[in-house]
Amino acid sequence: MEENMEEGQTQKGCFECCIKCLGGIPYASLIATILLYAGVALFCGCGHEALSGSVTILQTYFEMARTPGDTLDVFTMIDIFKYVIYGIAAAFFVYGILLMVEGFFTTGAIKDLYGDFKITTCGRCVSAWFIMLTYLFMLAWLGVTVFTSLPVYMYFNLWTICRNTTLVEGANLCLDLRPFGIVTIGEEKKICTVSENFLRMCESTELNMTFHLFIVALAGAGAAVIAMVHYLMVLSANWAYVKDACRMQKYEDIKSKEEQELHDIHSTRSKERLNAYT
């Protein structure tokens, strides 16, 4: 009988411990982190493969070649964009962890307001710093989203030309790369529907795959923007709670100090009366 009671108490203690641990999880920050990681993973993975597909299309069907030497051509720019993607993936992986840690500490500060936990000025400064940094990252991801929409627009035009060629027989449509800034004005790199390369490109899987990869990368960048907005709301709410908690903590400290002073005054007067009576 006693063993059953001890087992029941142990299970109850484990259950209460689990409930306490689950209550300390910052679910809003967790959702934002998952959305951020998903968006960054889509953007970086699909963007990297889409850039590789673009190199294949330019070299195979537009008959472009790398410029020898240190000349900054479109292929060098694509390589730079790939390294930027590597940096974005690593940076936001670390940043997501930092925001989750900040969410855990802020949640603990709010829940343990009336306990031994003390909210410091440094904690409030860190929250304010994260708000400013997240706002800047949100603006940066807005720029990335707009930039990613450019290749989507270009491939949509190319895909539309391929589709119109199959619908309208005898149509002579051309796609010039100069308006998109891929080549200089002096170079003429265009492909027309009457050429064999154009027909091969429209029938190949590289065009369709690269187009859809850029679309998914654009969706990933948009998801990262939504995650940054979500983080801004969470961080702003946490900062407001912490600020209110600090005011409450100061009020409790002042109240405790006044009560201690009244107790000391009362004790002093009691001793004086006792001495006078004696």
pLDDT digits (tens, 9 = 90+) for 199-216: 888 888 888 899 999 999
Q: Give the pLDDT band (50/70/90) at residue 68.
A: confident
The pLDDT assigned to 114 comes to 40
Residues near 41 by beta carbon (within 8 Å), at least 6 away in sequence: 89, 220
Going by the DSSP 8-state scheme, the letter that residue 67 receives in this structure is P
Token pair, residue 161, equals 């030309």
Indicate whether 275 belongs to any domain: no
Q: Which of 38-52, 166-180, 252-266 has the highest mean pLDDT?
A: 38-52
Residue 2 has pLDDT above 50, yes or no: no
Assess if residue 10 is contained within a domain.
no
Closest C-alpha to 138, from 233, 241, 269: 233
Residue 274 tokens, joined:
């006792």
Distance (Å, rounded) from C-alpha 71 to C-alpha 200? 30
CA atoms of 238 and 246, how far apart (whole Å): 12
Out of 42-46, 125-129, 156-160, least confident range: 125-129
270 — pLDDT class (breaks 50, 70, 90): low
Query: Is it the case that residue 84 has pLDDT exceeding 50?
Result: yes
Residue 85 lies in a domain: yes
Q: What is the pLDDT at residue 152?
A: 92
Range of the domain at 221: 29-242
53 assigned to some structural domain: yes
pTM for this entry: 0.76
The domain total for the chain is 1
pLDDT tens for each residue of 167-200 = 556 667 777 777 777 776 667 677 777 778 888 8
Q: What pLDDT score does 200 carry?
A: 84
Q: Is the residue at 265 inside a domain?
A: no
pLDDT band, very low/low/confident/very high, at 12 (cuts 50, 70, 90)? low
pLDDT classification of 116: cutoffs 50, 70, 90? very low
Please check the confidence at residue 155 and state whether its pLDDT lies above 90. Answer: no
Q: How far apart are the first and last CA of the chain?
A: 63
Q: What is the mean pLDDT of residues 50-69?
A: 83
Rounded to the nearest 10 degrees, how much is the dihedral formed by the CA atoms of 39, 41, 47, 53?
A: -140
Q: How far is CA 100 from CA 129, 167, 222, 254, 257, in A?
A: 15, 53, 21, 33, 36
Contacts of 242 (CB under 8 A, 6+ apart): 106, 109, 110, 119, 123, 124, 127
- Report phi then psi at 111, rounded to 5: -70, -30
CA-based nearest residue to 232, from 132, 162, 163, 113: 132
> Does the structure show a pLDDT above 70 at 7?
no
Signed CA dihedral, 125, 127, 130, 136: sign only: negative
| pLDDT for 105 beyond 60 | yes
Tell whether 194 is covered by a domain. Answer: yes
Residue 128 is assigned to a structural domain of this protein: yes
> How confident is the model at residue 117, as a pLDDT?
46
- Say if CB 183 and CB 75 are below 8 A apart: no
Biggest CA–CA distance in the chain, Å, is 123
The answer to the question of residue 234 being in a domain is yes
